Amino acid sequence: MKINIFKLNFFVNMGNKLSERINNLPVSATLAMAAKARELKEMGIDIIGLSLGEPDFNTPDFIKKAAKQAIDDNYNSYTPVDGYSDLKKSICKKFNRDNGLNYEINQIVVSTGAKQSIANVVQVLINPGDDVLLVAPYWVSYSAIVILAEGNPIEISSDISSDFKITPLKLEKSITKKTKLIIINSPNNPSGSVYTEKEFLELSKILEKHPDIYVLSDEIYEHINYGIPHFSLAKIPSMYERTITVNGLAKAFAMTGWRIGYIGAPEWIAKACTKMQGQITSGTNCIAQRATIAALEASPSKIKYMVDEFECRRELIIKLLKEIKGFKLNEPKGAFYVFPDISSFFGKNIKGKKINNASDFTIYLLEKAHVATVSGDAFGSPKNIRISYAASKEKIKKAIIRIKLALEC
Ligand code: GLU
pLDDT of residue 2: 41
Distance CA 397, CA 142 (A): 31
Is there a domain that residue 2 lies in?
no
Do 129 and 270 lie in one domain? The reply is: yes
Going by their DSSP bridges, the two strands 385-388 and 337-338 should be labelled as antiparallel
Which amino acids bring their CB within 6 angstroms of ligand 1? 28, 30-31, 52-53, 115, 139-141, 189
Do 272 and 359 lie in one domain? The reply is: no
Of all residues in the chain, what percent carry a pLDDT higher than 90?
94
Q: Tell me the mean pLDDT in the region 1-26.
A: 64
Residue of 36, 118, 139 best suited for mutating to test ligand 1, as the one with most atoms within 8 Å of CB: 139
Do 308 and 266 lie in one domain? The reply is: no
pLDDT of residue 8: 40
Do 88 and 150 lie in one domain? The reply is: yes
**pLDDT one-digit tens code per residue, 185-218:** 999 999 999 999 999 999 999 999 999 999 999 9
Is there a domain that residue 307 lies in?
yes
Q: Tell me the mean pLDDT in the region 154-169.
A: 95
Which are the contacts of 358, defined by CB distance < 8 A and separation ≥ 6? 342, 343, 375, 376, 377, 382, 383, 384, 385
| Closest-CA residue to 26 (of 173, 168, 141) | 141
Is there a domain that residue 63 lies in?
no
Omega within 30 of 0 (cis) for the link into 137? yes
φ and ψ of 159, to 5 deg:
-145, -170
- Name the residue with the closest Cα to ligand 1, atom 1: 53
Cα 123 to Cα 89, 169, 196: the distances in Å are 25, 29, 29
Mean pLDDT score across all residues of the chain: 95
pLDDT of residue 10: 45
Do 250 and 103 lie in one domain? The reply is: yes
Do 263 and 350 lie in one domain? The reply is: no
**pLDDT one-digit tens code per residue, 104-159:** 999 999 999 999 999 999 999 999 999 999 999 999 999 999 999 999 999 999 99
Distance CA 189, CA 138 (A): 6
* Confidence at 9, pLDDT banded by 50, 70, 90: very low
Ligand 1 centre to CA of 64 (Å) is 23
| Domain boundary, last residue among 298, 333, 360 | 298
- Judged against a pLDDT cut of 70, whether residue 11 lies above it is answered with no
Is there a domain that residue 64 lies in?
no
Which residue type does 128 have?
A: P
Do 195 and 329 lie in one domain? The reply is: no
For residue 133, what are the domain limits?
Answer: 77-298
- Structural domain tally of the chain? 2
pLDDT of residue 15: 60
- Judged against a pLDDT cut of 50, whether residue 405 lies above it is answered with yes
Do 40 and 91 lie in one domain? The reply is: no
Ligand 1 centre to CA of 6 (Å) is 24
| Domain boundary, last residue among 298, 327, 353 | 298
- Judged against a pLDDT cut of 70, whether residue 12 lies above it is answered with no
Ligand 1 centre to CA of 250 (Å) is 10
Is there a domain that residue 274 lies in?
yes
Side-chain-side CA neighbours of residue 259 (13 Å):
10
φ and ψ of 155, to 5 deg:
-85, 140
| Domain boundary, last residue among 298, 332, 348 | 298
Measured from the Cα of 139, ligand 1's closest atom is 4
- Judged against a pLDDT cut of 50, whether residue 7 lies above it is answered with no
- Judged against a pLDDT cut of 60, whether residue 232 lies above it is answered with yes
pTM over 0.85: yes
Is there a domain that residue 4 lies in?
no
pLDDT of residue 13: 57
**pLDDT one-digit tens code per residue, 264-311:** 999 999 999 999 999 999 999 999 999 999 999 999 999 999 999 999
Ligand 1 centre to CA of 141 (Å) is 8
Do 180 and 103 lie in one domain? The reply is: yes
Is there a domain that residue 72 lies in?
no
